[in-house]
Amino acid sequence: MTATAEDYLWFPTQFPELAEAYCLTLVRGVPPGTLLTRLAAEPAEPATGAADLVERSYDAWDTYDSDRLLVGATALGDWTLVAEANGYVGITEALIRPLSAGTTVVSHFRNINAVDHFTWWEDGDLRLDFEPLFAHQRSGSTPDALVDAMRAVGFDLDDGPDRDFAHHTEAAFALAEHLTATPLTPAHLAAAPFTCGLVSPR
């Protein structure tokens, strides 16, 4: 059964600080430590759960501004989840294109100004790139490959004035689950052990 936006309504209510500005990335078959090495991350103290990661992330912003961003990586089935509070490593092409070599990378992002982004990479190929708020506008090598799935999870793909903007962030979670067959639960996000590192996005 396909997850929908309704399955992720818990995210903004249970994790409001993270939901305000986040980037979540799923990488297939690359363990957390190896992934951080491939991102040239400087080791940082580990974090436990989203609340701890958010606090450490904003501390890093205070210390480094945007020169180094804190990322936390944790195993999630056959995938590694990379979580960022107020970060954007997961949608930075210069970092994610090489990271996707030989694997799949799915990222979704939203900042404090409600600017959002969703990307799907396969072995260096950007298959799909769009803003969840404007899901009718898509790019990538296969921009229409997931049209049916996008509608099923809750995106409104119409471009008219009556377009439904509700729960587009939650729909991004559901589309990521569709692509990875890996659900993210509030229990996991609340207690996950994150291996952390500082990454230069430039």
Q: What is the pLDDT of residues 40-97, one digit of tens each?
A: 999 999 999 999 999 999 999 999 988 999 999 999 999 999 999 999 999 999 999 9
Closest CA to 183 of 175, 193, 192, 194: 175
- Return mean pLDDT, the chain: 95
**Terminal alpha carbon distance of the chain:** 40
Q: Does pLDDT of 1 surpass 70?
A: no
Strand arrangement, sheet containing 69-76? 42-48, 193-199, 69-76, 79-85, 22-28, 104-110, 116-122, 125-130, 138-139
For the chain, give every domain's residue range.
5-197
pLDDT in tens, 126-162: 999 999 999 999 999 999 999 999 999 999 998 877 7
Within 8 A by CB and 6+ apart from 198, the residues are 41, 42, 44, 60, 64, 68, 69, 70, 71
Six token digits for residue 126: 């950007």
